[in-house]
Amino acid sequence: MPYVNIRIAGTLSREQKAAIASEVTDTLERIAHKPASYTYITFDEVAEENWAVAGKLLDSDA
């Protein structure tokens, strides 16, 4: 019963999300023996204004 939350800064296309979901589900089935039908994956696309690294928001000027 895996639950996977993928948070990224910015956005992904629908095609990217579909491909990532497919691959990650396959990884968990092959390596962790979790049936694919039990795997939930959610994507959180976080605005760059809402994500900081090293104390600076990602939309900051350098």
Instruction: Give the other-Cβ count within 10 Å of 49's Cβ.
Output: 11
Measured from the CB atom, the residue of 31 and 62 that comes closer to a second copy is 31
Q: Does 32 bind a second copy (CB under 8 A)?
A: yes
CB 17 within 8 A of CB 54: no
Taking the alpha carbons of 57, 14, 44, 3 in that order, is the dihedral positive or negative? negative
Q: By CB under 8 A, tell whether 62 contacts a second copy.
A: no
- Helix, strand or coil for residue 18? helix
Smallest gap from Cβ 34 to a second copy, in A, equals 7
**Contact footprint for a second copy (CB under 8 A):** 1-9, 12, 14, 16-28, 31-32, 34, 36-37, 39-46, 49-60
